[in-house]
Structure 1
Amino acid sequence: MPTADELINAHTADRLATVIAAAGAAPATALRDCGALLEGLAFSRRVTAVKEAVLADLPDAYPAFADVVRAALRRADFTGWMTFPVNAAVSERALEDGVFEPALDLLAELSPLLTAEMAVRPFFGADAPRALDRAMRWTRHPDPHVRRLASESTRPRLPWAPRLTAFVADPAPALPVLDALYRDPSAYVRRSVANHLNDISRDHPGTAVATAGRWLAEPAPTTTALVRHGLRTLLKASDRDALALLGHDPDVRVRVVGPDVCTPHVRLGEELVFGYEIANTGTRPARLAIDYVVHYRKANGSLSPKVFKLTRRDLASGECWSGVRRHSFRELSTRRYHPGLHRVRLQINGRPHGAAEFALGASRDAAPAGVSSSPDRHQERAVL
């Protein structure tokens, strides 16, 4: 993950000043001066500082402001993260001046340089029906970046952005945007649609499953994968309707052996290794969503479960599948580990099976307890 300094820094501000000056806002004094103010600031504060400099250097009236931005758009050196605070400046200046559709059109032009969904979202707070009308137009745009803008800007819970509280309460107004895009030829767009559906599932699981069901009734070859990703939170939570929609019967008849822990004592920086075996004991083929759950020890000694994907398998009657999973405890930055007994459990079509304990200890170089870390990529070795 790039740091704030790598994304927006004094060099970024200086290059943007050169672009803006050449586009008609010479001498871009505020932009040239703001670079010195960025040292030590978090990313959001850097964006705000550069945005305010853009607003200071460009004309006050929106039409002249937009002319400079469009002139910048014609320059090859207007690119990358320097465009992000410009998007924010367009949004702020337009809404201050009561400009709506023309500003959304300009943000759509900017979005292929660096997605503008953050800058679009304030327009939904100002007038959601008008903003939705523009988003529906974007679903028919030839550029996949603009089509994706339609889905991302309407997400109820877009990461790193204020929630669209109206769509959290009722996602229905934005569903036509997703209906128009779920069969999009671009994987980039479809990924956004799946993430939007996952947002909906957190507050309205019934709506998410019903929407996915409609799509599966009129699918593209890519629709099942999109739906699986879009319902991932519900699948991990063993939602029966979501599992059933994708053919995973929670009551499937299986024999499960394991998890058999091969590493009962794991140190930070090492891997938990466990084996498992699953057999279809029913008389019909079984479609299995096989996950595992690591119950992490918390500071107060209680255990907190987190579900990880293991594999998806279709097993004929009597067929058996076995494998070995390696789960890393390498020290990273997004999970705080606590030493002591942990637990691992298998989960088949949302139902728990088996459980085994293992002990987590300090790393071999004696890292103190509570080191921040997160699971690394996981690998599976199948044994047939």
Structure 2
Amino acid sequence: MADLMKDSLNLVAVEKMAASLKVVWAQFDVDGFVTASMDGLEELELKARILHLIAALHQHLPNDFIEAADILMAAGEKWQKVDENGGFSVFAIWPLIDYVGVYGLDEPEKALDALEVLTPLFSAEFAIRPFINQHFELTYQRLNQWARHENEHVRRLVSEGMRPRLPWGLQLKQFIKDPAAVVKLLELLKDDEAEYVRRSVANNLNDISKNHPELVVSICKKWLKNAPKLKHKNRNWIARHATRGLVKQGYPPVFSLLDYSENLDVELRDLSLEKAHIKMGEALKFNFTLTANKSQKFVLDFAIHFMKANGRLAAKTFKLKNITMKNGEKISIEKQQWFRPITTRKYHSGAHKLEILLNGKTFAEIHFLLEV
């Protein structure tokens, strides 16, 4: 995805930015901006491209941020979010939004006005984070107001912008340590009418659970206990999505929260591999049986312990299914996991391990060899 987004910040995107700015500010030097933007752009990765384009914008927008922000907001209001050709053209506005986070810190009121206008076009979740760190009281006050905003994209920014561990974003270490201020905002958004917003709430809680698992379980229990009938389904979805990391970790209190059995009585037998030696491009095929000694409900996952460059193993957990079994019931499970080149993992030849997990606890494991 990062490569796809990187490639979308190309000449077409630069020309779109230039044309949009020219429409609202006749003095904008289109040719100069395009030349400065394309100088060395293709050699850069995603984040470096964004910073490069922000620098080019700064060269060609007014030095006065108030004036520059008015131009950006005017361009945003006229921006066509989806081109006729579709694709990733929406990413063209990303540098305009992050420009605010770089050059608007001395004018936070105006900068937050700009982010409110621009975030419906492409989320300002990265651009707002410097304001949270450097102008917290002002920004937090605005976030409280935005939690009731008519636009769902602005409401989502309240949660997504305050995520302590936003992927690709600046970590908000103060909220990793104490997420109380974040939780207050999530309380305002937990019953939002937009799934887009509720998903962000769940992702935010999942971030928090990495350092405060007991707090997240407590919040979810409270929300479910106090949920009006019409809100219970959505809150239950939030709870399940917010605690997905805790389920994978096998954190005991989470299973009762999600109505899974706490004390399992299941026999896992006959874990076997079709091949114990596989090559890149092949699948690891495995099967086993489960026999229930009582009626119970549980989460069935598996983990692959991948060989790292230093010779150590590192586990990655994968979802299998949620299972409800009756007393005496026996079921057979078959699964395959492909080993194909991906950008997020480097494979190494050697001994690997397959682990079968029920409610996050190891019930069986078996080793296999991967040849890269």
What is the TM-score when the length of structure 2 is the normalising length? 0.90
Cα pair distance change 1:25/1:116, threshold 3 Å: farther
Q: Which residue of structure 1 aligns with residue 203 of structure 2?
A: 195
**Counterpart of 2:15?**
14
Matched letter for residue 22 of structure 1 = V
User: Which residue is 1:371 aligned to?
Assistant: none
| Shift of residue 15, structure 1, vs aligned partner | 2.2
The one-character-per-residue Cα deviations of 1:23-82 (angstroms, maximum 9, x if unpaired) are 115232542222331121122222112212222322233332222122212324477222
- Quote the offset at 1:260 in angstroms: 2.1
- What does residue range 359-374 of structure 1 map to in structure 2 within 5 Å? 359-362=369-372
2:103 corresponds in structure 1 to: 93
The amino acid across from 1:104 in the alignment is L
Q: Does 1:266 align with 2:274?
A: no
Change (3 A) 1:42 1:340: closer
Q: Does 1:33 align with 2:35?
A: yes
Counterpart Cα distance in 2 of 1:261 and 1:311: 19
CA distance in 1 between counterparts of 2:34 and 2:167 reads 31
2:361 and 2:4 mapped to 1: Cα distance? Answer: 40
Decide whether the 8 Å contact of 1:258 with 1:355 is kept in 2.
no
Structure 1 residue 151 displacement after superposition: 0.7
1:163 is paired with a residue of what secondary structure? Answer: coil
Moved more, 144-153 or 85-94: 85-94
- SS of 2:321's equivalent in the other structure is strand
* Counterparts of 1:353 and 1:90, CA distance in 2: 52
Deviation at residue 152 of structure 1 after TM alignment: 0.6
Residue equivalent to 1:127: 135
- 1:213-232 → structure 2 map (5 Å cutoff): 213-219=221-227, 220-232=232-244
* Post-superposition CA distance 1:258-316 (Å, at most 9, x none): 4222222211111111112222212xx31111111212223343332221111001222
Residue 207 (structure 1) aligns with? 215
Q: What is the alpha-carbon distance in structure 1 between the residues aligned to residue 163 and residue 137 of structure 2? A: 15
Matched residue, 2:309: 299
SS of corresponding position for 1:276: strand
2-structure distance, mates of 1:227, 1:272? 32
Instruction: Tell me, in whole angstroms, the C-alpha distance in 1 between the residues paired with 2:262 and 2:272.
Output: 23
Aligned pairs, number: 358
Alignment map for 1:105-120 (pairs within 5 Å): 105-120=113-128
Range with greater deviation from structure 2 (1-10 or 240-249): 1-10
Question: What's the offset of the Cα at 1:321?
Answer: 2.8
Match of 1:32, as an amino acid?
V
Answer yes or no: is 1:48 the counterpart of 2:51.
yes
Q: Map residues 303-318 of structure 1 onto 2, 5 A cutoff.
A: 303-318=313-328
What's the counterpart of residue 281 of structure 1? 293
Take 1:307 and 1:288, find their aligned partners in 2: how far apart are those partners?
A: 16
Could you say what secondary structure the match of 1:333 adopts? coil
How big is each residue's C-alpha offset from its partner over 1:310-363, in whole Å with a ceiling of 9 and x where there is no partner? 10012222233322111111122222222233221211112211222222224x
The two structures, once aligned, show a CA RMSD in angstroms of 2.0
Distance 1:101 1:320 in 2: 63
Give me the whole-angstrom Cα distance separating, in 2, the residues matched to 1:36 and 1:300.
Answer: 40
Which letter maps to 1:40? E
Report Cα offsets for 1:82-139 as digits up to 9, x if no partner. Answer: 211111222333212xx22342132121111111111111110112232122112222
Which residue of 2 is the match for residue 346 of structure 1?
Answer: 356
Letter in 1 for 2:37: G
- In structure 1, the residue matched to 2:193 is 185
Ranges in structure 2 where 5+ consecutive residues have no aligned partner: 83-89
CA distance in 1 between partners of 2:91 and 2:26 (Å): 20
Conserved in 1, the CA contact under 8 Å of 2:69 and 2:110?
A: no
Partners of 1:81 and 1:121 in 2: how far apart? 19
8 A Cα contact 1:201 1:234, kept in partner: yes
2:87 matched residue in structure 1: none
Separation (CA, whole Å) in 2 of partners of 1:217 and 1:199: 22
Report if the CA contact (8 A) 1:25-1:58 is conserved: no
Measured in 2, the distance between the counterparts of 1:78 and 1:294 equals 41
Give 3-state SS (helix, strand or coil) of 1:357's partner: strand
Shift in alpha-carbon separation, 1:6–1:336, aligned structure 2, 3 A: closer
TM-score (normalizing by structure 1):
0.87
Contiguous gaps of at least 5 residues in structure 1: 363-384
Q: Residue type matched to 1:193 in 2?
A: V
SS of 2:353 mapped into structure 1: strand
